[in-house]
Structure 1
């Protein structure tokens, strides 16, 4: 190498070294500018959807990194409780809309008008606002519609000699169907009684037969005593399900998710009363059983002439809010706004098996499914979801009481008494 070549080589080396140093400094600066937020959630819609959600958010906000803490739904309260008590932990938390959110609002900040404006395209967002009133303080924004239906397995119905295209619509016909399904050694209604699921998935569907919308608002206000004959009728009808042998014998000792839903997904039950979105929806059951074998219907009517008997118990699905202790509220608020946006709505529709609330979602993204088509018809006539209007004390007493009634350790009369005590001990309703 001659002298000139050596000089050129040294210059190139110096340039490369300088560029490398600049790149390292730039990377360090970039790393310092990135804000990491932690999001506590139970992963509604499944892991594929959530991976896409986080990727889309971080692409849109390259200065914000998301770390997820995902907890199973039935353990969520026990994980979240210590965070609220110690005022530490995640920057964003998921919560069921309604009283569950209102009871835990000390863990959230009131959302500003700027953040709430991100929900202007949503078909509904009152479930994040105190008293279901947009003029009150709002602590979270939703992203999808949630509510209850009953799924049925057409293969099981056919094997039991029932018409798979015409499932039972009345309580009496449902009982006859259960007798036929039990006769082929299958479970009629896959059921789990532990945890909060009885309050959110079963109670509202029985309650629609006995309550009016004014009654439901009275439940929210704490003005509907459990000793009222209508409320007693609800508990009496719930007690009939295990007493008549319509559910699996181990129902008192298992939860709906995942235990009872696994009974249905494995093909060993004719019916399962669950939800339209999140993990145990039409998409998950369709994948397990085959879309051609899955149907969705309203719960059979106990009082067919009741005003709400043919309505859908609907609610905004879980909401997301900024924690009251977060030291990164601006970045956390950006995530909450993204949750409510059309981009996430499209992801929920195409990947998460959910029913989006954003009105600008592309309808062509809805997957082809008979059960989903049935659900979209059912949700056209909504009513208030009374389950999310129960306090934490009532939710716990409902589940524990149903277990004991099913085991023959508690009378319905005593169950009513426990529910009334739970109501009177509910701080949010007094």
Structure 2
């Protein structure tokens, strides 16, 4: 093991020890008027640490017998620490997780229903738009396990951020952003010629490459690694290969910041005026605000389209269920009390969340609550017809998909394989069709074989459940298209 890997392993161990020392927070003491329950919540939102401390303080003020300890670590460490916590029976009471869905979380025995009784009343679910609670998405056998936290119209990747200072130095109008791939190259040429800044602060390390990728791919076909129109994993399909070739061209021309950088380095580079353009998502304004880089120093613009025009859109999915009640909690009633408080559309959590411009919530009137200028720009962009579209949902076509593990198991094989293939192609200059062939073949074979085995066991599933040939990439796949 080299020194870097030893250091990484040591840091994960330290994080693990720190998190687990008081995990599954359950304590009682005689102070005050009686016993006090401690709830632990984990996530990786480092920029929200002070916000969470404030939330914990206010909640305990209103519920004196319950305290909240909300902990955040870096995302990469979190993805390893949380599974270890469950393995050692030291998991928190509630945790953030969006890497896998309901089916796998249930299989892993990580979660329990939101309400100790298993069901939630209408006065809770009515906080969300109709259709927010679906069997197989956040409901299983009539029991509700999750709730949409982030909404899916404004929230997501695929926005272009322009540094005002860099654009001014380059003699460019920040309010007239590049709209096409050729425009982007011309803009970069001018930034490179007239400033000391890099043009695009593009992270290209591992999964962080999703930022420039989604900033381009979302206008070509679908920004998923699976194409619901054809029923195939699509990394090596023509639109993806063409888009990645353009990213390779940007690198060759010197328009991408040099080095294999992670998202944190690239975000800081942009905030310091060392790059003029950065692709990212709805969450990044709050990250920059926490670093002292305010929204009056940049402009948000739509992602750039291919020269022939937009032929695709970013996908809207039912993936806003991000906070889950741990199966290992010893205080489900107190946890349910906090969840109801947290999701009060007019409550303290919501008001402070929007005051800090952390993003857009699924159970709130965002038009009313958003005041941050950057978030307002994001909302205006995403509200344009065809900018973000509702993806087809196999579950709504084939209800037995709720019991199927085939797709989840296919994704579990070499989880970061697509990003590794992109990294290899960007470094070597090879076509993405070449470097991505193995991961596509592996996933497709696993999905098709898994569905065949499940069908043989009696489930009504097949590849047809994942194929929607009538879908237009630029339009919502509406509910009337599903069988009655």
Taking structure 2 as the reference length, the TM-score comes to 0.69
Structure 2 residue matching 1:168: 3-state secondary structure? coil
1:417 maps to what in 2? Answer: 437
Structure 2 residue matching 1:163: 3-state secondary structure? coil
2:163 maps to what in 1? Answer: 153
1:426 and 1:323 map into 2 onto residues whose CA distance is 30
Match of residue 338, structure 2, among 335, 340, 365: 335
2:256 maps to what in 1? Answer: 247
1:204–1:285: structure 2 CA closer, same or farther, 3 Å change rule? same
What does 1:127-206 correspond to in 2, within 5 Å? 130=136, 139-145=145-151, 146-148=155-157, 149-183=159-193, 184-199=195-210, 201-206=211-216
What does 1:248-397 correspond to in 2, within 5 Å? 248-250=257-259, 252=260, 254-256=261-263, 258-277=264-283, 280-281=284-285, 284=288, 288-302=292-306, 305-309=309-313, 319-342=322-345, 343=347, 344-360=349-365, 363=368, 366-369=370-373, 371-381=374-384, 382-384=388-390, 391=411, 393=413, 396-397=416-417
Task: Compute the displacement of 1:427 (Å).
Answer: 7.6
Question: How big is the alpha-carbon RMSD for the aligned residues of Structure 1 and Structure 2?
Answer: 3.9
1:123 and 1:304 map into 2 onto residues whose CA distance is 36
2:91 and 2:448 map into 1 onto residues whose CA distance is 24
| Structure 1 residues without counterparts, runs of 5 or longer | 1-25
- Bigger relative contact order, structure 1 or 2 (CA pairs below 8 A, ≥6 apart): 1
1:276 and 1:190 map into 2 onto residues whose CA distance is 17
1:132 and 1:202 map into 2 onto residues whose CA distance is 31
2:241 matched to 1:232? yes
Larger-Rg structure: 1
2:123 matched to 1:113? no
1:81 maps to what in 2? Answer: 83
Pick which of 74-83 and 165-174 moved more: 74-83
Deviations 1:325-368 (CA, angstroms, capped at 9, x unpaired): 222222223333333222222221112432232235792x5335
| Structure 2 residues without counterparts, runs of 5 or longer | 1-27, 393-407, 451-484
1:288 and 1:125 map into 2 onto residues whose CA distance is 39
2:141 and 2:221 map into 1 onto residues whose CA distance is 26
Check conservation: 1:147, 1:275, Cα contact below 8 A. yes
2:437 and 2:334 map into 1 onto residues whose CA distance is 47
1:20 maps to what in 2? Answer: none
Q: Which structure features the higher share of helix residues?
A: 1
1:234–1:116: structure 2 CA closer, same or farther, 3 Å change rule? farther
1:413–1:162: structure 2 CA closer, same or farther, 3 Å change rule? same
How many residue pairs end up in the alignment? 392
1:173–1:348: structure 2 CA closer, same or farther, 3 Å change rule? same
Task: Compute the displacement of 1:285 (Å).
Answer: 5.3
Check conservation: 2:250, 2:256, Cα contact below 8 A. yes
2:254 and 2:140 map into 1 onto residues whose CA distance is 44
Structure 1 residue matching 2:39: 3-state secondary structure? strand
Taking structure 1 as the reference length, the TM-score comes to 0.77
2:245 and 2:122 map into 1 onto residues whose CA distance is 42
Task: Compute the displacement of 1:89 (Å).
Answer: 1.6
Task: Compute the displacement of 1:301 (Å).
Answer: 0.8
